[in-house]
Each structure stands twice: as structure tokens, then as C-alpha cells.
Amino acid sequence: MIKFILRRFLYALITLWLIATFTFVLMKNLPGNPLGEGAEKIPKATRDMLMKQYGLDKPLWEQYLTFMNNIIHGDLGASFQFPAHKVTDIIKQAFPSSLELGLISIVIAIVVGLTLGIIAALKHNKAGDYTAMFIAILGVSIPSFVLGPMLSYYVGVKWGILPAGLWKGPEYKVLPAIALSFGTIAILARLMRTSMLDVLNQDYIKTAKSKGLSTMTVVVKHTIRNAILPVITIIGPIFVNVITGTLVVEQIFSVPGLGKHFVSSVYSNDYTMISGLTIFYSAILIVVIFITDVVYGIVDPRIRLGKGGK
């Protein structure tokens, strides 16, 4: 098990290094000037001072070494938009709202998605199955950037049932969370349904039923327990997908998270903010997948034995 964890940890470090390197190269080749569209109008002395301040006057290889050294020490650089603020400070200030929205959405998605999947499997080819899969199809077909404005307008503005935007009390968080979780609900529902149907057709389930065990006992102790294993493997990527998906939903519902900073950084060529957020979210993805791999390796020892954990 220790070898399995160390191997996964090494893969995680290599992946993060590759992403950081690719991000650095990409940022250096983007069009535009990080000092702004009117950089050429800035006096040469001032421009040279700014270039030196951000380390842009150094050779590319030296910039890269400084970039990697700063990342190792948790420094993502200073924002071009907000020179007095470091990217890490902006993340610390704005990420809690993004994380809260993401966690609420994930809880909703897991509870609703797994429930729909279980109902669909137990009511296979019946009304419950068709209803659950219809909801799943809607979730796959309607992206959050389409569902969000619809919920904001109809539920928030036209009908006045819930607030259409901002981020204050609990009622303000309902619509953004629904918009963000809807697609994930569909994915989990379909996967859980497929996994449940596969387990229900296994011989040991038929044996358990023939022994006179109640349907509830068979479903809870045998079916769900085994059917949920494939779902665990995608919880990590889904978590990151939801967290990064907040960038769009935040803009729609005026949530004070990282979304507004990411969008504004793209428009203003704030390279340090773009690269900082890219590396930050990549690190979250890598950590979550690492934890998921370890947990799944514990739950199902065949994974670590079959994938280099010997």
C-alpha cells in the first residue's frame, strides 16, 4: 500500500510540474502586453521599471526558474491588475465563496444523482426509470451557462420565488447551486443506474434473494455497497469539474468568487492571475484525484495490486 501511495504521489508531482511548465510557456506566447493595451504610450523609464518589478527584463530561462521557485514557496506572483496584491492573497479572499458554492452543489448532486440512479435501477423499464432518465437527459443537454440565466430570470425575476443574484443568506445560494449541480446529477444518476443494474444481475444477489433476505436488506447491504464503487472513481474529477464550473455560474449570479477575477484577468492580459488560477485549480484536481485513487485502493485492493502497487 505504501508503494502504491508513493507512486501515485510521484505521478501527482510530475503532473503538476508539467502543467506549471506548460502554463508558463503558454503565458509567454499569448498575444498582447501584460502591462496593458497602452503600454507603448508609457514613458520608457516607467515601462522599464515595471518590467524589472515583474521580472520581465530577465532571460526566459531565469524567469522560468524564478516562476517554479515561487510556486514551490506558495507564491503565484503579483497581479498586473492589482499590483499591490499577490495572486495568492486574492485567491484566499475569493476562493471561500467559490468553494462554498461548489460544496453545496456537490452535496446536492451526490444525494439527488445517486437517489435517481437507484430508483431508476429498482424500477427498471417503469415510470420511475423513465422519469429519472428524462431528468438525466435534461441535465446532460442543458449546460449551466444556459440553465443559470433561465433560473435567474424565471425563478428570481419573473416569479420572485428566490433571489436572482448576489451572495448573502442561504436563499441566495439555492439557484446557483441548482444550476451548477444539474449536469453532475445527470452523470451520477446514469452511472449509478448502470452500475446498479449490473450488480442486480450478479449471481450472489440472486442467491441472497433466494435465501429469503428482504428486498431492503439485499439493496442496502449488497447492491448499493458494490454498485457505488465505480461512482467513487469519478467523484474526484467531478469535484474539480464542479469547483471550476463555478467560474461561469459566479458571473451569472454575481457570486464574489474567483470567477470575476478569472474573467477580468483574461480581458486585461493579467498573465500572473491567469497562470496562478490555472495552477491553483490544477493542484486541486491533482490532489483530489490522488486522494480518490488512495481511497479506492483501500476500498478495492485489486486496484493497487493490479496497477503497480505491488
CB 149 within 8 A of CB 252: yes
The vertex-16 CA angle with 51 and 94, nearest 5°, equals 65
Express each pLDDT in 136-158 by its tens digit: 889 889 988 899 999 999 999 99
Express each pLDDT in 193-228 by its tens digit: 999 999 888 888 888 878 877 778 888 888 888 888
Residue 153 DSSP symbol: I
Distance, CA of 227 to CA of 192 (rounded, Å): 7
Where does the pLDDT of residue 39 fall: very low under 50, low under 70, confident under 90, or very high at 90 and above? Answer: low
Distance, CA of 162 to CA of 52 (rounded, Å): 50
Distance, CA of 124 to CA of 112 (rounded, Å): 18
- Residues in contact with 168: Cβ distance below 8 Å, sequence separation at least 6, in sequence order: none
The CATH number of domain 87-268, selected from 1.10.1740.10, 1.10.10.10, 3.90.550.50, 1.10.3720.10: 1.10.3720.10
pLDDT of 309 reads: 43
pLDDT of 42 reads: 66
The vertex-272 CA angle with 73 and 63, nearest 5°, equals 65
Q: Among the listed ranges 84-93, 111-120, 237-246, which one has the minimum average pLDDT value? A: 237-246
Q: What residues does 78 pair with on adjacent strands?
A: 86
Boundaries of every domain in the chain: 87-268
Q: Which residues of 230-248 are buried (b: 16+ CB within 10 A; e: fewer)?
A: ebebebbebbbbbbbbbbb
pTM for the whole structure = 0.79
Express each pLDDT in 48-103 by its tens digit: 777 777 777 788 888 899 989 989 988 888 887 787 788 999 999 999 999 999 99
